[in-house]
Amino acid sequence: MAMKNARPKLNNNFWQVDHKIKNIFEPKEVIILTSPDAWRKFKWSRKWFEKKPKEGYFIWVKKTIDLPLSTCITIASPKISQDLTNLLVIEKNVKAKFNVICNAAENKLCGKHRAKGKLILKDNVSLEYNHFHKWGEKDFVSPDYEFILGKNSQLLYTYQNLFPPENLQLKTTIYGNENSSSRLNFIINALNSNIRIQDIIYLKGKSSQGIARLRLAGRDNSQIEAISKIFALAPSKGHLDCRGLLLNRTAKISLIPEIVCQNKKAQITHEASIGKISEEELNYLRMRGLTEKEATDLIVTGFLN
């Protein structure tokens, strides 16, 4: 069956397969709706949606909850084209954790997954947001997410894709207000993929901080372009850490870090490097009984972690 690899509904607060909602489970102090339902029910949400959504989810976290919230968006049928608009609103002084999974249930479904999301962190919010992708080799995927951080808010964001689609266009934008902090981690293991990553951090508020860390491995016939930017608009601190690992001659990685400082009291730095696997390290592991593939996989895993 096409659904055999999709996650069980009991594990998810919101679960959508193709265009059908399979499960919505609301913990206390959390409101979860489809985005079209939220558009109709809460007029204030239209400010953030901008236009009427076709599909997607709306999650409003009013108080701190002990367990992580989770969502799962799955493509399970051939040539499905998803067009999601997601909105997450977290009220003041709330601490939350999200595990977000987007995936294809089978390898060659030739699906399209577009997702545009806004995540509103009000003052004094702490959010850990883990974004996991697993796609088929012929899929097209285009996530575009904005995080708006209120005063004293903290964001820890991790995007991980060890099974990328044929085409991935990933955009992440951060707006940091006074004394906010954001730490972004992007982990991608590319194989036969065309990948474009764009992450932008706007440090708008006094004493705001932003760090973006990229770990990108390029395998057979993969093309990776990563554009990382920090704009310092106030007295703030920011850093870009971009690293690529080339596995063979048919792979290409382009790292483009950019720092723009518009305040003389800001401190913005960057580092970028692209390398290959050390023959000495590879031989060391092979001498201990690993095959070349096993040794390579182990080195790549260590690099991405």
Q: How confident is the model at residue 11 (pLDDT cuts 50, 70, 90)?
A: confident
pLDDT at res. 143: 97
The number of beta carbons lying within 10 Å of the beta carbon of residue 303 is: 17
Residue 278 amino acid letter:
S
Q: How confident is the model at residue 298 (pLDDT cuts 50, 70, 90)?
A: confident
CA angle 162, 163, 164 (to 5 degrees): 105
Q: Pick the range with the lowest mean pLDDT from 2-16, 59-73, 87-101.
A: 2-16
Domain boundaries in the chain? 9-278
Predicted confidence (pLDDT) per residue in 210-260, tens digit: 999 999 999 999 999 999 999 999 999 999 999 999 998 899 999 999 999
pLDDT at res. 1: 34
pLDDT at res. 190: 94
Q: How many CA atoms lie within 13 A of 91 on its CB side?
A: 9
**Average pLDDT, integer, range 178-189:** 97
Q: Pick the range with the lowest mean pLDDT from 200-204, 261-265, 280-284.
A: 280-284
Between the alpha carbon of residue 298 and those of residues 43, 224, 282, 301, the distances in Å are: 51, 21, 10, 5
Average per-residue pLDDT in the chain?
93
Share of residues in the chain with pLDDT > 70 (%): 97
pLDDT at res. 276: 84
Q: What is the total residue count of the chain?
A: 305
Between the alpha carbon of residue 7 and those of residues 27, 120, 139, 189, the distances in Å are: 19, 27, 19, 22
pLDDT at res. 254: 96
CA angle 97, 240, 141 (to 5 degrees): 60
Predicted confidence (pLDDT) per residue in 116-147, tens digit: 999 999 999 999 999 999 999 999 999 999 99
Distance, CA of 231 to CA of 270 (rounded, Å): 12
pLDDT at res. 288: 76
173: closest CA among 150, 215, 144? Answer: 144
Predicted confidence (pLDDT) per residue in 25-37, tens digit: 999 999 999 999 9
Distance, CA of 238 to CA of 268 (rounded, Å): 5
Bigger pLDDT: 301 vs 270: 270
